[in-house]
Structure 1
Amino acid sequence: MLSAVPRRVLLSGRRSIQQVRFGSHAAHDAHHAPAVPESFGKGFYMSIAAFTGLCAFYKFTVSDEKEPLVTRIINKYHSQSALWEARNTVHTKMVEEAAHDRLLFEESPIPKSRPYAYPEALNQGSPWNITAGWATGDLTAVKAHMEAERARLDALRQGN
């Protein structure tokens, strides 16, 4: 009679007996990792200690006759606003004088000794790779010499 029962039924019967005897998850408990006790970690405790230390430091730095430390630090930098205002005034005056001088320079008539119509002409263009004749002296004599040399070389090439 045992041979008439399919093998699958026997296996399912064995599993149900194990479940009754060892509980429903007895066969699966071997696959799970063991439970690890979890804690908050060092960072949590360090931040709590730092906060407590800062509160204690603030409490002990406050005295009856003085303001709190943070207020004193703020007032130290806040009181320099008069100094900053004086510096800004001097700086503004210097920039205005420089602008006035520049306008005088640009609006003045161009003398023969100054070949540039505006001062920014000194800064425009690259100092390298300048084509011949640009922003330099008179090159007509050089041009005439080069044309004479070219004519002489052309005559030599033709056999004259």
Structure 2
Amino acid sequence: MGTFFGSYVIYRIYKSNTESGNESWISNLISKWTPSEKVFEQRNALHTVAVEKAAHDRHLFMAQSQRETVGIRSPEQLNASGPYNVPAGALADVSAVAAHYERENQLAEEARVASMKDGKVVSLYD
């Protein structure tokens, strides 16, 4: 019921404004917040320039000659072996590193044997 009454009131206000020659407050509100045609023209000009530049760049890239290489379907096939389970020294010379740790282990073993001879440490294997 209220909808019909509200619609009738809005209709009467609109009709009285159009008869007197004034625009309605709704029309004034819409025209107040609607941007001018100049804004749309500037926006369209910027958009047109951007699209033309993108088309020019695309034509430049499409005009390039094809690469002389053959595309690989799966580039991981270039690495014949995986990075895991690679034996030490397979990729680089690690003899200096091995000698360093052998020396360290030899010194540690000599220190252990010397401390066992002094009786400070008891071996589990004796």
- Shorter-chain TM-score range: 0.3 to 0.5
Report the structure number with the largest CA radius of gyration: 1
TM-score (norm 2): 0.42
Under a length normalisation based on structure 1, what TM-score does the superposition of the two structures give? 0.35
